[in-house]
Structure 1
């Protein structure tokens, strides 16, 4: 029996190796059993992104749920994760399932759970579902058409629902006529149709269907977005470049010079706009790997900050019970007040675009504005593909307090909420963390300049290897 474990953001595995029709059916059976324990007449919204065999895995999930007495609302065609989350809330469903491996390489697919609040299912419930995964499962030979005839299955247009929702949140006509033009890179992901339909004036990159993502992992970080960077740097009328990942819940940005604007800066930009300009308040919730500059800004603005382990499910859990202005992760997953408690790269990108329109400032100018509040800084990350024994050895040494300096960078404070974070004398920091979804050791680094951030990464890599 394959042991199936949910990581920081769902269960992910290599297609046809561990991520098979049979194993997906096992997870679907566990979900059905968990829902049936509640005694409710349960309903689940299901969607898939652009990955290989997404429709097959989504239909398998639907079949198993229907066979176990759970009604299904199934999206036709690919959809983003935020579309499924919004659909769960709008349809008052008990759960959502997204067949996606998010930003992982094309060989992977995955299974995400979404709660009735319109965000990630809370960790306690995910653990309960995981515990119910059976060793064997029967897959019904009933067709989806037959389930539809029996009233157990309906098809829904989640993309239209989402676009209609955007029209209630933004003045899209004004954005389409903006003097600051936008470029959008879908990375061949599930957000590709939304910008095409809502912002027809935008310049589009990689907005076509390609389940292999042209062999580039659909993660919106600079090394994967060099074409967007070049387009921004060589097209004077373009003032902001937006990128989203495979299931469109993560964001990356570029300024008018083709410089990458990472998630730390985006979080600060959004806090600045929502609080200083829109006069909104609330707690700011950030994952452990996010810059401490957020704390500095919030201290100046009188906003409370809470730090969580890595995984948006921890942030979402707080957002549904407390008054939260923004919840954000280093990886580009950000949720804001006035929207569902879910990461949403397109929604966040439209907020930034609106920010530019309302202030008449470019993205570069807005970044300079936040530097006036928190000081100038630069962030870098290095993902090391290591043998498991290497990875475990490094993390054990970190946990045992072996690392007290990295070259010239002396450690003055250590935190271990999720991974190990080392603070340096001049305000810089580094962090070591084993990925929860990939065979990777991540090294994070922040310095007061780009050169310093790169130097910290190099010194840390030398020390641990």
Structure 2
């Protein structure tokens, strides 16, 4: 009998199996493909946590996979941190199916070890969890969320005592501790009532929110008197059925932005995200309702946050009177420039801007113009958070961090991307430029004229299940072992293989040099003409992603260069898949 069938039978015969999961197993017992996918492996715990489809099985998000992960985390903390039981762990959750239940399950596992759990009494955004770890001085944080994934997903993210996502080294040790848990079905838990009686379970109401809002007001670049003035900038905001409504609205209110319309159809938390195809502000369809409302109120800026409140999308009116959604790279460049232009020159002497290796090079050009050093990290905001922690020891000053996928951090009182900070700062920035007689698109155009027409894109290929996972591995292996020397007729100058941490300089006789970053399954090709291509499997979804970046003399020039890169890479990937299927 195959191993996955053994695991399935263990679950199916477990007398105390959760009734809803037992019912689901009964429904799929005759569907071999579904059963195999549910049990052929354990849900992967990556560098920040795990994310998967809700349901029965070891390869699904359910109370048993959550318990196993927390059991490993508890053992890791007790072995590697001090005063774990007293400092405890803070837990937050979003608006998805089972989020509150998973948060309580996590707490009850901690309780079995005598570890105090502080759990928010209602949904909260991810950046508030990051802040809460630091504010409360807990030993770790847990966020139950699947970010902007479809409704059938949920997830589990772990934060270290600094408030950042766990580092790769920490993740490795936690994974080892998780793997030592032999049976996910029999992980010990303490009943919620007993935890409350023994004061091991503390419910958090609004004390963390209020402390966060104090810090949020401090990021403003306006003078105190201007902060107090009423601002007539018309704003439309949608939390896309998620967690950010309360903090964004209060953050804008305390800076006296008084003309804010909330998209009523999307303000209520809804695990189905019933008014959008996908609750992802990166996708333009997520702005459909906000655009309709913006047209009615003649709004200057539209804001959309993803369900767990760590990503922000922004749309503004163009010269035709239509709303144009800014890319994550464009908004990041604008926020960076506004931030640096309004920073104390003394601060800028030790300032560092952080971005990922697949984020626009326009950010580097802007930082250079203010004599601010840019530091690249791997893809994922956890690496930006880790770098900020290093700055605490080196004396370097964090001034801004961003990634192309709509993640921004302005102040390091939180250590993960923060859509609340970004939303408030985006409105302040739009208000500033409006006083200068400009829109954010005008300000962006000025940056292009000054630094060049940078343009970026990303395409992804979804390949689900075990077969899809194998195809993704095949594509990466082929690209790695037969690296490209030309893409769309443009010569490759450098090949960067992040899995082995090595850069090959083709224009210097294939000279090798080390990449001083953690290892990750990613390949980047730096081309002539200030262009680049990067191929990377997603760490949270069954996708392989291809990122592109170009710099042209004009907008049309950039668009043509980008289209050529994409077309050629699509063909290359198609040929690899076709050959592997023969």
Q: TM-score, normalised by structure 2?
A: 0.74
Q: Which residue of 2 aligns with 1:183?
A: 236
For the Cα contact (< 8 Å) 2:43–2:61, is it kept in 1?
A: no
Cα deviation for residue 442 of structure 1 reads 0.8
Residue 132 of structure 1 aligns to a residue whose secondary structure is helix
Gap change, CA 1:142 and 1:297, over 3 Å in 2? closer
Gap change, CA 1:168 and 1:304, over 3 Å in 2? closer
* Between 156-165 and 428-437, the greater mean CA deviation after superposition: 156-165
Cα deviation for residue 55 of structure 1 reads 0.7
**Whole-angstrom distance in 2 between the partners of 1:408 and 1:193:** 50
Q: Which residue of 2 aligns with 1:114?
A: 159
Gap change, CA 1:454 and 1:204, over 3 Å in 2? farther
Q: Which residue of 1 aligns with 2:569?
A: 460
Q: Which residue of 1 aligns with 2:511?
A: none
For the Cα contact (< 8 Å) 1:65–1:72, is it kept in 2?
A: yes
For the Cα contact (< 8 Å) 1:262–1:332, is it kept in 2?
A: yes
**Residue 342 of structure 2 is aligned to residue 277 of structure 1:** yes
Structure with more contact order per residue of length (Cα contacts < 8 Å, sep ≥ 6): 1
What are the equivalent positions in structure 2 for 1:291-440 lying under 5 Å apart? 291-322=360-391, 323-337=397-411, 339-359=413-433, 360=435, 361-386=438-463, 387-417=468-498, 418=520, 419-440=522-543
Cα deviation for residue 90 of structure 1 reads 1.0
Cα deviation for residue 100 of structure 1 reads 0.6
**Whole-angstrom distance in 2 between the partners of 1:92 and 1:272:** 33
Q: TM-score, normalised by structure 1?
A: 0.92
**Whole-angstrom distance in 1 between the partners of 2:537 and 2:42:** 20
User: Runs (4+) of structure 1 moved beyond 6 Å?
Assistant: none
**Residue 112 of structure 2 is aligned to residue 31 of structure 1:** no
**Whole-angstrom distance in 1 between the partners of 2:313 and 2:74:** 36
**Whole-angstrom distance in 2 between the partners of 1:450 and 1:226:** 23
Q: Which residue of 1 aligns with 2:121?
A: 76
Indicate the structure (1 or 2) with the bigger Cα radius of gyration.
2
What are the equivalent positions in structure 2 for 1:9-158 lying under 5 Å apart? 9-17=48-56, 18-37=60-79, 38-40=81-83, 41-133=86-178, 134-137=181-184, 138=186, 142-157=190-205, 158=208
Among 208, 216, 223, which residue is 1:166 paired with?
216
Cα deviation for residue 70 of structure 1 reads 0.5
Gap change, CA 1:16 and 1:373, over 3 Å in 2? same
Cα deviation for residue 264 of structure 1 reads 1.5
Cα deviation for residue 233 of structure 1 reads 7.1
For the Cα contact (< 8 Å) 2:47–2:168, is it kept in 1?
A: no
For the Cα contact (< 8 Å) 1:229–1:259, is it kept in 2?
A: no
Deviations 1:277-311 (A, max 9, x none): 22342111211111222222223322222212212
Runs of 5+ consecutive residues of structure 2 not aligned to the other structure: 1-6, 8-40, 253-257, 392-396, 499-519, 553-557, 575-582
**Whole-angstrom distance in 1 between the partners of 2:330 and 2:372:** 17
For the Cα contact (< 8 Å) 1:432–1:443, is it kept in 2?
A: yes
Cα deviation for residue 451 of structure 1 reads 4.7
* Between 351-360 and 70-79, the greater mean CA deviation after superposition: 351-360
Gap change, CA 1:312 and 1:389, over 3 Å in 2? same
CA RMSD, Structure 1 to Structure 2 (Å)? 2.6
Deviations 1:99-131 (A, max 9, x none): 011122221111111122222223222221121
Runs of 5+ consecutive residues of structure 1 not aligned to the other structure: none
**Whole-angstrom distance in 1 between the partners of 2:299 and 2:96:** 30
